[in-house]
Amino acid sequence: MCGISGIVNFKVTEPIDRSVLERMTSAEAHRGPDDHGYFVDGNAGLGHRRLSIIDLSGGGQPIYNEDRSAAIVFNGEVYNYAELTRQLTAQGHQFKTRSDTEAIVHAYEQYGDKCVTRFRGMFAFAIWDRRRKRMLLARDRMGIKPVYYYAGSDFFVFASEIKSLFEHPEVPREIDVHALDLFLALRYVPGPRTIFRNIFKLQPAHVLVVDEFGVRTRRYWDVDYTENALTDEECVEKFEALFEESVRLRLISEVPLGVFLSGGLDSTATLAMMSRITGRQRIKTFSVGYDTSGASRREAEESDELAFARQAAAHYGAEHHEFKLSAAQFRDAIPLMAWHLDEPLGDPTCIPLYFISKMARRYATVVLSGEGADETMGGYSLYQRVVMLDRMRRRLGPLTMLATAGAWLPFSERVKGYFNRLAVPLEGHYRGIVKGIGPRTREQLIGESRFRQSEQRLDEIFMPHFQRTGNASVLNRMLNADTKVWLPENLLLKADKMTMATGVELRVPFLDHKLVEFTATLRDSLKIRDGQGKWILRRAMGTDLPPAILNRPKKGFAIPTASWLRFEMRDFIRDTLLGGNAACPAYFDRKAVSDVVARNEEGKFPGFQEVWSLVVFEHWHREFMKPSPRPWSSSCMPIGAAH
């Protein structure tokens, strides 16, 4: 796991300013505290920060092919690199290292841009082809590793993090107001946009080419939801084999490994498979809990995940470590979270993920987790509710228009939302797992014109994913939309940024592309059955898991956010959003902001979700848009990193 950066000047006679490249690379030092390297060739340059995982002594980057006509910088892991190395060696390629990075550059020699289809893993890499004066930039299929870019009139620049791009003096730092409005709707900015004008994310499963003809991108992979003809038992058997293979590949490392353990199904299944593969070798596990002294009894119980994590750790004889997060620590970490994320991301679980990663770094450099299981196997209860809603809509037919009358009755906003959806096909209303600020409040914040434009842009973002899966089931159409939008732009982005902030490499076995491809072909009944999601995972791992965990409902990181924001952080929120230095009034209606703060203090749903999104934006704005944004410094380095 590393940080990469690079520059291509479109004028071949204009050499790279090495000092700019060095600053760009240093801005990502937290991603790779072990080493750094540079490549400069006339009008092109590459930079790299290294977190050493494989081939500790010989894997420094950039790495070259035999005649040094191609240079690569790489962030991620290619788990099938040993097999690729054998194949490429048989085809005459000569290797100087044992690293997966060198396997990529030789695969590029052999297969050209199509080399990306042969890699199994998570990656973002750039190859400069000196002969063709051409750069290839690539991102893995699921979007586990990020890469950003800016294309000016005279140059192209890319990096693992946006803050690195700003080290180039000609990259502008301007807010894209349309992206800001999308953030309000979703709590993240969907790609390829970012919150900054003209800075883009390379989308998952895409490659980008920079050459004399300009800059262009193309998709190289997608998921096919055509159902297979296997029996239930055959599906379970194949799923278990692919899951075991995926975990086994992700245990390849020359540094200590561990697992993030919530005590839920996904992380416990990962721990169970690790134990099966390693012969019950003592595995390091890491969990986070919360100080809920000021929370209600219900919220405190919902936030108490540590008991289940301890049970799972004890069941497998793990070396267990815990961190308990307080409201004060949560509050004080907000500015650092905003700086590391680069963009506003309204997911409060970013903060506990940062702290658990910081703790884990003391014991392990590589950590596995259960991300992606819900989005590929129907784990969220919302999927079941929407499927039921769609069945009702189809049965009612023309009468669905009458159901919208329920939206005028004195029900909660959540119930009114379901009535409204009854009259609208899936593609017209489904916008992913986590909703942002509701339509009514958004319109009050940004005005009718901006609101209507943002709704149109949401349609433009989601509609192609639904159109492509028009013949699939309602469940699979939702899964496809979530794996294309929510998963890479929220879940995986926060996972990458918060773990790399502490120098930890995160691996996600449920998102191995071969496992994802197979899971997509499963019948709905193999994903959701008897009111439970991820049925096939429960069946495949059922005999390995403690019964109490096997049958637990989905929870995730259940932070007592509502209580903290309403009570312990009440004054902090008022100062942040309503104080004299607040940026929000420059972008949003002042009275609407005050109303959001009031709803939070009154405990009205969904006040705490709305206020958290605004707090995140405010602190992001302070970090990136004020005259003196946070510079890169040793204070941002992970535990144990060299200064």
- Any idea which residues carry the catalytic annotation? 2
Task: Map 44-68 to HEC letters.
Answer: EEEEEEECCCCCCCCCCCCEECCCC
Q: What is d(CA 553, CA 349) in angstroms, rounded to the nearest whole number?
A: 19
Sign of the alpha-carbon torsion through 257, 262, 266, 272: positive
Q: Which two tokens stand for residue 78?
A: 């290619």
Q: What is d(CA 17, CA 168) in angstroms, rounded to the nearest whole number?
A: 10
Q: Quick count: other Cβ atoms within 10 Å of Cβ 529? A: 17
| Strand 2-9 to 155-159 pairing | antiparallel
The pair phi, psi for residue 58, each rounded to 5°, is -120, 10
**303, 559 contact by CB (below 8 A):** yes
Q: What is d(CA 357, CA 348) in angstroms, rounded to the nearest whole number?
A: 15
Checking 170-179 for CB contacts under 8 A at 24+ apart, the result is 171/199, 172/196, 172/197, 172/198, 173/624, 173/625, 174/198, 175/625, 177/450, 177/587, 178/453, 178/454, 178/457
HSE-CB at 178 with a 13 A cutoff on CA atoms is: 15
Task: Map 341-397 to HEC letters.
Answer: HCCCCCCCCHHHHHHHHHHHCCCCCEEECCCCHHHHHCCCHHHHHHHHHHHHHHHHH
Q: What is d(CA 376, CA 483) in angstroms, rounded to the nearest whole number?
A: 7
Give rounded-to-5 percent helix, strand, coil for the chain: 50, 15, 35
Residue in the block written with tokens 């993030």: 260
Which of 433, 470, 438, 465 is CA-nearest to residue 454?
438
Q: What is d(CA 604, CA 192) in angstroms, rounded to the nearest whole number?
A: 34
DSSP 120-140: -EEEEEEEEETTTTEEEEEE-
The total number of residues shown for the chain amounts to 643
Q: What is d(CA 483, CA 222) in angstroms, rounded to the nearest whole number?
A: 11
| Strand 284-290 to 257-260 pairing | parallel
Amino acid identity of residue 225, one-letter, is Y
**228, 522 contact by CB (below 8 A):** yes
Q: Name every residue whose Cβ is closer than 8 Å to that of residue 578 and which is 6 or more positions away in sequence.
A: 593, 594, 597
